[in-house]
Structure formats: structure tokens, C-alpha cells
Chain A
Amino acid sequence: MSVSDDGIAGAKSSLSLVTNLSVIFLVVLWLIPTVGLLVSSFRDRDAISSSGWWNAPFATEQNFAAGAEGEFTQTPDGWVIEGNVFGEDGSGTVTAFGGRRAEPTAFQPGTTGELVRGRTLTMEANGDYRYVDPGEDAPRRNPTLYFGTQVPPSFSTDNYETILFSNGMDVAFINTLTVTIPATIIPILIAAFAAYALAWMDFPFRGTIIAVIVGLLVVPLQLALVPMLTFHNDIGIGQSFYGIWFAHTGFGLPLAIYLLRNYMVGLPRDIIESAKVDGATDFQVFTKIVLPLSFPALASFAIFQFLWTWNDLLVAKVFLPSNSDSWVMTVKIADDLLGSRGGDWGILAAAAFVSIAVPLIVFFTMQRYLVRGLLAGSVK
């Protein structure tokens, strides 16, 4: 519906400006958290802790320590060592310098700083320094110099390389894939047959079964954890991939049957009845007519189930073994990385984006089906 349909001529322009601005505000608000972590996943640890991600496109001020190189020479002022903090070949701009770790940026470039026991340090903006020790004997060790400088923004995929190739995230990724594929495909097949029976076949208790399935839609799956794990242990599959495939199949079925039945009921009766008149069996009607026509509903449930199994933490924690070989990505992040890499935001961010990349791709390419499925499940 466009603005002119409402016919509020006078209020039109100011109203639409307010609308545009508020939607922009909301979208930005919704995106900020994700964008922040995405930007951080490309920055190294020092850059993340020295400036916020919103400053990432700009140069950051960072402090460095450099050992003075060369040897002390004796002059009338005392023992002197000279050089450049950026080395022979390097270049840069010193924004501040100091002689102690605790005060790395005590002095401005171009000035002479007084250090302990009469020693002085002079540093120019281009990095040239002169360190003077007025003592009698030659200093035994070369001093360490501290300085601050502007570091240009840098982005790299190092975090992704670290997380994928040396942290076991690749194993977790494969495990997630392993859980997801059977857990998405098998319930669809089982549910499709059941949905066809509930939509197009006549038999006693049909209404009761549909009502029970609607009721099962909301059963908290927490209830199933203990009894089903005990059951899996009793029949010998214990905590394993088989266990989680069965569990996801069971938990996904109510929604699958509900969605598919709602869709199949809406298929034109004529097609199905004329096929039956022509001698097609129910099995043929189902595989040759109903199944191909139900593709949109099958796709939308497949997306739901895929997102749900890919993103699941609870079922994976309970039904998969708790050793690191069987960790899926959500468990890997929640139970391992958050503890062992707690402060290392670059690594955590990269791990998060490795785990949400696939769902995001699925989401943006198949949004149409997802929305259709949501509507079929809720508005009806």
C-alpha cells in the first residue's frame, strides 16, 4: 500500500521523512552488534584492545618498546648511544616517548626527557634518539626505549587462519555438517508420508492425531533429554552421531508434519481425484503428484530444520560425546573457546563468523521459502 492510497495529502512528506529516518535508525541499531564483531574478526589482538572497532578505518596509537642498538661512546657529556627507533630502513612518526615501561609516553618528541640518575633521552619525531648516561663507568646493558606511534589500519584474515587450521574449528565444522545433513533430510521424508495421509486419506482418529501433533509442537524438548539418553544407552548407541540424528528427527517431526499437512490440504482436489480415477494408487499419487507440488513447503521446512540443527547447542551437548573430537561448532565456542580464548576477541569473532556463515548464506538465498514457511505455520 503506497502513501497516496491513504490520501493523507498534507501529512505525506513529513510523515514519510519520519518513517524513513526511524527505519534507518532501527536498521542501524540492529546491524551494529554484528558489524562490530565482523570488523573485529579481521583485526589483530593489539589493534582490538587499543582502539574500538568503530575506529578501525583510522590509524591507531600504539606503544612499542625498542632496544637501543650499537655501542656506547664516551663524550664530554658522558656515555652516549645514538640511533633510530624505527631501525636503519624503517620510517614512522613518534608521537611520544619515554624511558620506563610504566610511562612509555611521558615526553613529547623533539624534547629532552630526564630519566633516573641524571640520564637523559632525546627523541625526534622521525625516530632519531640520543641517550646520555653521565656515569663514570660504561653502562653494562643497552637501554630499552619506549615510544608511541600511529599504526595505519590493517585488516587481515589471520584470525580465520588461526581458528581454522590450528584450533580444531575445522573438525567442529565437519561435525556440524555431519549432524545437520541427515537430521534435515530424514525427517522430511518421514513427515511427508505422514502429512499426505493426514491430508488426503480417510481413516478413524485422523482429527485426534492432528490435534496431538499440534500439541506436541510445544512440548519442551528438555523433557526428552534424560529419558532418551537413558534409552540410547540401553539400546547401545549411547552418546553418538546416531543418537543425535534420531533425536533431531524426532524433535523436528511435529513442525514438519504440521507445515506439510497444511500445505498439502491446500492442493487442488481435482488433480488428486482424477489421478485416482485413472487408477493411480495412493503411493503413486503421493510420489508423482503431491510430492513435486509440495516443493515450496518441503523447502521451507528443510531451511527451518537446517537452521535449527546447525545452530543447536542443547541437543548436541546432551546426545553427542563430550570429547573434543565430536564437538560441533556451537559447543566448541561455548564450552572451549569462551573459556580458553576468553579475552582474545579476534579469534572469538572469527570463530563466530565461521559458525554463522553457512546459515547466513542459506538465509539470504532462500529467504522466500523461509518466509512462506513461517506464514504457513503461524497465520493459518
Chain B
Amino acid sequence: MSPLLQGILTVIIGVGGCIGYFWASNLVLDRVIFPAKGQDAGRNINRANAVRPWLFLLPALAALGLYLVYPVFGSFYRSLFNRSGDEFVALGNYGALFADSEFRTALFNNFLWVLFVPAAATFLGLLVAQLTDRLSWGNIAKSLIFMPMAISFVGASLIWKFVYAVDPEIGIINAIRDTLGLSALDPLQVGFWNNFFLMVILIWIQTGFAMVILSAALRGIPEETIEAAIIDGANPVQIFFKIKVPQIMGTIVVVWTTITILVLKVFDIVYTMTGGNFGTQILPSYMMEYMFRDDGRATAVAFVIMLIVLPVMVWNIAQARKEMR
């Protein structure tokens, strides 16, 4: 059977199964377990309504528990064992990680990514949002800058590999160097700075995301505050930095943290562009080097990523709880 046919069949079975589950389980609950008739009718309705939310939640909670909650513990547990998984090595894998200079490079580079990418993408997004806010063709401009969001990291890497090509007849960077009389070089092999050339790709993709959200936030600023500032004689730069930015600070933080989380997960760009060579390794691509070869090491790296994400997670939950109150 061709995979596509199998896929369509799965959609039908999956969708039918889901609807069937919800429909049948509700029916069974109302008719069989707690029937709304007889002497206990009133009590049974209440009981059925107490159980029903859990029927609605069950498939989602099961999938979440299995695919996201269990792996946090499963990965940590696995990371305490050796390569083949039969010998307990306690924190040995973590010790081996920190003894490996490539891991330290990856950690340091990831630190650079986390520092630089969210800052640059948020700043550029804010800039574009503010500039296009007053333009008649602003929506077209925004939609074009937003476009890279739809492109896969692999596709984007290919697009930029072309930009960075060494041959001055192919890569535009080296073509520009050529017209300036400089010799051709491979940007991906320039020590240290090649990390930033890779980050440019992610910034190129994420600026649109930051722009869309910050643009909406800018529109939401009450106009009176801006009018008052103008009457007081503030110039456009002052209005932007002293009136607008402080009012959307909450949104800026959200955008910043969202991109930070993304940065910690993206392995595609480094994998496609350099394969982690030339000192551009980061944690997610370092992990993929050990995936399928040494699961103990791979899970240890994954858990290190989790530890880095943890503060953001705690902050997110705290924010969500505050909102719900």
C-alpha cells in the first residue's frame, strides 16, 4: 500500500476514531453508567457532569503525558546509563560531556546564539513594525519580510548557502568583495564570526514573527499618550523610545523569550550549513551527532538543553497563573 493511501486511511480512521470515541463515551456515560432516569436521575446527572470533562481531556492528556511529560523523566533516567543502556554510570555521561571540548564549544556557541538572535530579531522586528506603521504600502512590505517564516530551516539554509558561496560568480557576498578588490573567502570557515553568519539565517526568518506581534502591540497603544507627548514637544525618536517602547515592554519580553526558546531547539541550520564543523557546533546539532550512536550521551545533551529552558518555563507558568487569577 502506498504511504499516501495509508495516510488518507489513517486520517479517516483517526478522525472517525476520535469522533467515535467522544460520541460513544458520552453516550455510554449518559445512558449506561449514570442514566438520567429512575430515582437517582438528579444525582446521576451531576455525577455524569463531573466525569465528562475527563472524557473530553483523556486523549489529549494521554498524548501529552506520553510524548512530553514522560520523556523529561525518561530521558534523564536514560542519561544515567551507558551507551548500550545496560550499565548504570550515574552522572558519568554528564562528566564526559563537560570533558569534551566540542561540547564546551557547543555550549559557548549556544550562549552566543541565545544572546544575539533574539536581540537582533526583536530589534529588527520592532524597527520594521514602527517604520511600516505609517506607510500606505506597509502591509505589502510586512508580508514580504514575514515570508521567510513559511520557509523550512533547510530551505532557508540552502538559500543562504547560495548567498555565501565562495565563487564570486555565484555568491553575492563574494561578488561584492570582488568588486571592492578583496579576495574571495568562505564565510562559513571564518573562525568565530561564522557563528554569526549562521545566526543571520535565523534572524532573517524570525524578524517577521517579531514584527507581526510588535506591530499589533504598537497599534494597541492608546493614542492619547502619544498626542500628549507631541503637545509637550517630544520628537519622533523620543516618542518611540520614551512613550511607545515602555508601553509594549510586556510584549517585547514575550517575543524575546519565544525566540530564545526556538533558538535552543533549532538544529537544522547548523546541520545543513556546516555540519557543526569549523567551530560552529551548537547543542541540538551536537546531540544529533550522538543520536543513534550513543543514546546515553544524546539524552544527557537533551537534558542539558532542558535545564537551560527551565527558567523560561517557570516564568511562563507563573505568568499564565497570574493571568488566570
A32 to B63 alpha-carbon distance, docked (Å):
42
Partner of A330, one of B11, B54, B70, B152: B152
If A6-B230, A250-B63, A333-B158 touch, whether A214 touches B19 (CB-CB below 8 Å) is no
Q: Which residue, of A226, A283, A286, has the highest number of chain B Cβ atoms within 10 A?
A: A226
A352 to B71 alpha-carbon distance, docked (Å):
33
On whether the beta carbons of B147 and A34 are closer than 8 Å, the reply is: yes
Q: Does A271 contact B (CB under 8 A)?
A: no
When distances are taken between beta carbons in the complex, the residues of chain B under 8 Å from A15 are 236
Partner of B75, one of A193, A227, A241: A227
A226 to B61 alpha-carbon distance, docked (Å):
21
On whether the beta carbons of A241 and B169 are closer than 8 Å, the reply is: no
Q: Does B191 contact A (CB under 8 A)?
A: no
Over the window 204-217 of chain B, the binary record of Cβ atoms lying under 8 Å from chain A Cβ atoms (1 yes, 0 no) is: 10010100110011
When distances are taken between beta carbons in the complex, the residues of chain A under 8 Å from B213 are 374-375, 378-379
On whether the beta carbons of B305 and A241 are closer than 8 Å, the reply is: no
Over the window 65-82 of chain B, the binary record of Cβ atoms lying under 8 Å from chain A Cβ atoms (1 yes, 0 no) is: 011111110110010000
Q: Which residue, of B18, B53, B268, B299, has the highest number of chain A Cβ atoms within 10 A?
A: B53
When distances are taken between beta carbons in the complex, the residues of chain A under 8 Å from B69 are 212, 216
On whether the beta carbons of A52 and B172 are closer than 8 Å, the reply is: yes
Q: Does B272 contact A (CB under 8 A)?
A: yes
Over the window 227-263 of chain B, the binary record of Cβ atoms lying under 8 Å from chain A Cβ atoms (1 yes, 0 no) is: 1001000011001000000000001001100100100
Q: Does A136 contact B (CB under 8 A)?
A: no
Chain B contact residues: helix, strand, loop or mixed? helix
Q: Does A251 contact B (CB under 8 A)?
A: yes
Chain A contact residues: helix, strand, loop or mixed? helix
Q: Closest residue to A325 on the B side, CB-wise? A: B3
On whether the beta carbons of A3 and B158 are closer than 8 Å, the reply is: no
On whether the beta carbons of B150 and A360 are closer than 8 Å, the reply is: yes
Q: Closest residue to A342 on the B side, CB-wise? A: B161
Q: Does A8 contact B (CB under 8 A)?
A: yes
Q: Does B42 contact A (CB under 8 A)?
A: no
On whether the beta carbons of A223 and B53 are closer than 8 Å, the reply is: no
Q: Closest residue to B265 on the A side, CB-wise? A: A220
On whether the beta carbons of B4 and A174 are closer than 8 Å, the reply is: yes
Q: Does A197 contact B (CB under 8 A)?
A: yes
Q: Does B115 contact A (CB under 8 A)?
A: no
A227 to B213 alpha-carbon distance, docked (Å):
35
When distances are taken between beta carbons in the complex, the residues of chain A under 8 Å from B324 are 207, 210
Over the window 251-282 of chain A, the binary record of Cβ atoms lying under 8 Å from chain B Cβ atoms (1 yes, 0 no) is: 10110010000000000000000000000011
A28 to B147 alpha-carbon distance, docked (Å):
13
Q: Does B97 contact A (CB under 8 A)?
A: no
Q: Does B144 contact A (CB under 8 A)?
A: yes
On whether the beta carbons of A311 and B154 are closer than 8 Å, the reply is: yes
When distances are taken between beta carbons in the complex, the residues of chain A under 8 Å from B71 are 219, 223-224, 227-228
When distances are taken between beta carbons in the complex, the residues of chain B under 8 Å from A151 are none
On whether the beta carbons of A219 and B30 are closer than 8 Å, the reply is: no
CB proximity of A56 to chain B, nearest CB, Å:
11
On whether the beta carbons of A379 and B56 are closer than 8 Å, the reply is: no
Partner of B317, one of A2, A51, A211, A312: A211
CB proximity of A375 to chain B, nearest CB, Å:
5
A230 to B19 alpha-carbon distance, docked (Å):
30
CB proximity of B314 to chain A, nearest CB, Å:
8
When distances are taken between beta carbons in the complex, the residues of chain B under 8 Å from A164 are none
On whether the beta carbons of A379 and B251 are closer than 8 Å, the reply is: yes
A218 to B315 alpha-carbon distance, docked (Å):
11
List 19 contacting pairs A-B, 8 Å CB cutoff, sorted by A.
A22-B131, A31-B144, A37-B162, A48-B169, A191-B60, A193-B18, A212-B69, A215-B314, A223-B302, A224-B71, A228-B67, A242-B10, A281-B30, A283-B23, A314-B268, A345-B170, A359-B152, A378-B213, A378-B254
* Besides the known contacts A54-B172, A216-B64, 17 further A-B residue pairs in the complex with CB atoms under 8 A apart: A1-B226, A8-B235, A52-B168, A53-B170, A174-B4, A185-B15, A190-B63, A197-B57, A220-B302, A223-B72, A246-B67, A250-B63, A253-B63, A314-B284, A334-B157, A345-B162, A378-B258
